[in-house]
A and B are shown apart, each in its own frame.
Chain A
Amino acid sequence: MSEFLFLYRGGEGGRSPEVAQQTIQKWMTWMKELGAKGHIKDQGHPLERTGKLVKGQKKAVTDGPFAEAKDIVGGYTLIEAKDLSQATELSLGCPIFEFGGSVEVRPIMQLSM
């Protein structure tokens, strides 16, 4: 088994109470399924949309947001999968796509020594 990081970008924004509730329901169902199949190493955390950006040799500190809303990382999950293609397959069920968001699937580098 290898480890992968799912980075969730965008897919937020206004929606009606009913749609918000259904979205949460879908996320919980999806997470639960992944967990039941033993793919979740760490459920991860949501990230605040605000923060600081420190940049350059001068260590200039600026306020977030750092990018357009659709590019902001809203959270992450640590996934266990056989290989990158299985991990990618697992991401397809994520409800984020319904709202224009994306999942970035990144292999955690294997350090074999």
Chain B
Amino acid sequence: MELEEHLFRREAGRITAALTRLFGVHNLALAEDVVQDAFCRALEVWKFRGVPENPSAWLMATAKNRALDVLRRERTARTYAPELGRLLESEWTLVPAIQELFSPAAIKDDELRMMFSCCHPRLAEESQIALILHILCGFSVSEVAGAFVSGHAAMEKRITRSKKVLAESKRLFEIADDADFSVRLPAVQRALYLLFNEGYHGSSTKAAVRAELCREAMRLTKILLGHPPAATPATHALAAMMHLHAARLPSRVDGAGNLSPFYEQDRSRWDTELIVEGQRLLDLAATGPEMSEYHVEAGIAAIHATATSAENTDWRTIVSFYDMLMSIRPSPVVALNRAIAVAEMEGPESGLRELHAIEGRERLLSYPFYSAALGELELRRGRRKVAREHFEAALLLARSPMERQFLERRVSACDEKDKESAAVSAAASQKTEVR
């Protein structure tokens, strides 16, 4: 029997969520210990006996038995989930209560509760995502640090602090309270959006890490969609956006592990199933009065995903979507993307004018793709020397070897005589991918 990829990570999240519900959020550390125990046991047994028929059930059952041991042994020494207190006190009710708590439907709710709990208003967005990755996606501290290109020590500090906030919140987020639920839902959507973006545009150099982050964001969004109060048009739009972007993931990196410019991407490698599903979700999102940023971003992604080529892309509509995005959530990065789309629609001069007029563009100065965008448009106008300087400035800001190589190729493109057109396309391409 083969082990399904990332099975342990996924089960770690599910079991931790279930155990935290059982023990109470103040006993998060205890829940994590029990999960660790169950995994150690799997390690000891499976290496001799092979993987059991149903490994998920095996892990869950082992954790459940450990939890029962803990509850019996420490019944009086600790307090557990206040809302379950009485059920856990008597042996009569203990076992059936635990059976119930570990049913698949209950665990789905536990994952949802944990997701909402991690998006605690006292936590910064980056901490919320780190916590979600660590607790619900089973990433170790160093794996989370790797995903964010952060140091291990800094990430450990951040996660420890965040867990403390979570543990001090007294109880897990109550998903049955509709009013609270709809107040926190946007924070959860935002965290999943950022998690996906970290995978799609993030600075981690490992293609595999990036794909995993995208996959986890999609898995958690699917859980949201499975819970009717969470399945709002905005959540559908968010899921649509993820599908439409993920469809293009396979072609973003070429065979040699290099970032592949949008214009040069092999569109035959785009995943049509994901595109179809993305469009279906986008249709479902198109109800009600709300036009969220996710609607707009999904709209942009849908145009890209269905265009037959970069040239045959409806840039006019894309520009109008970016205008909308600027009114919903203005940012220099959105403005940068908009300027690139304008350049596609009206030519490099207009694009450059927009780039120079971006409000708050000083915030983009540490961002390699602002200089790179200037370089591409200058190159397209034929001002090689200026273009080259912009690319060299961008190169100094590159955050990963992958970005560095990409920009080095752009610098040398400025020296080539006959490759203008290719250069131009490569340019805009990379830009439209930037968030």
Contacts and interface: CB of A to CB of B under 8 A. Distances in A.
Interface stretch (B42-50, B64-72, B353-361): B42-50
B146 to A, nearest CB: 11
A46 B44 contact: yes
A12 B48 contact: no
Contacts of A12: 40, 43-44
Contacts, number: 69
B48 A44 contact: yes
Contact of B8 (A18, A31, A75): A18
Contacts of B51: 24, 28
A100 B142 CA distance: 20
A13 B11 CA distance: 19
Contacts of B143: 16, 18
A23 B46 CA distance: 10
B140 A16 contact: yes
Contacts of B86: none
B43 A24 contact: yes
Given A16-B140, A18-B8, A24 B47 contact: yes
Contact of B46 (A16, A19, A24): A24
A4 to B, nearest CB: 17
Nearest to B7: A21
A24 B3 contact: yes
Contacts of A16: 138-140, 142-143
Interface residues of B, number: 25
Contact of A46 (B3, B6, B48, B50): B48
A17 B138 contact: yes
A29 to B, nearest CB: 10
A46 B40 contact: no
B295 to A, nearest CB: 35
A17 B50 contact: no
Nearest to B48: A46
Interface string B14-57: 00000000000000000000001001101111111111000000
Contacts of A53: none
Interface string A11-37: 011111111110111011001000000
Given A17-B39, A20-B43, A45 B3 contact: no
Nearest to A47: B44
B8 A20 contact: yes
Contacts of B219: none
Q: Is the interface of B mostly helix, strand, loop or mixed?
A: helix
The CB with the most chain A CB atoms within 10 A, among B7, B12, B44, B139, is that of B44
Given A14-B36, A16-B143, A21 B8 contact: yes
B171 interface: no
Contacts of B48: 31, 43-46, 75, 77
Contacts of A28: 3, 46-47, 50-51
A113 B48 CA distance: 33
A23 B51 CA distance: 12
Nearest to B137: A17
Given A12-B43, A31-B47, A25 B3 contact: yes
Nearest to B142: A16
Contacts of A43: 48-49
A101 to B, nearest CB: 12
B108 interface: no
A74 interface: yes
Nearest to A77: B48
Contacts of A21: 3, 6-9
Given A24-B42, A24-B51, A77-B48, 7 more contacts: A12-B40, A17-B11, A17-B140, A20-B39, A24-B43, A24-B47, A27-B46
27 contacts: A12-B43, A13-B40, A14-B40, A16-B138, A16-B139, A16-B143, A17-B8, A17-B11, A18-B6, A18-B138, A18-B140, A20-B39, A20-B40, A21-B3, A21-B7, A21-B8, A21-B9, A24-B3, A24-B43, A24-B46, A28-B46, A28-B47, A43-B48, A46-B45, A46-B47, A75-B48, A77-B48
Interface of A: 12-21, 23-25, 27-28, 31, 43-46, 74-75, 77
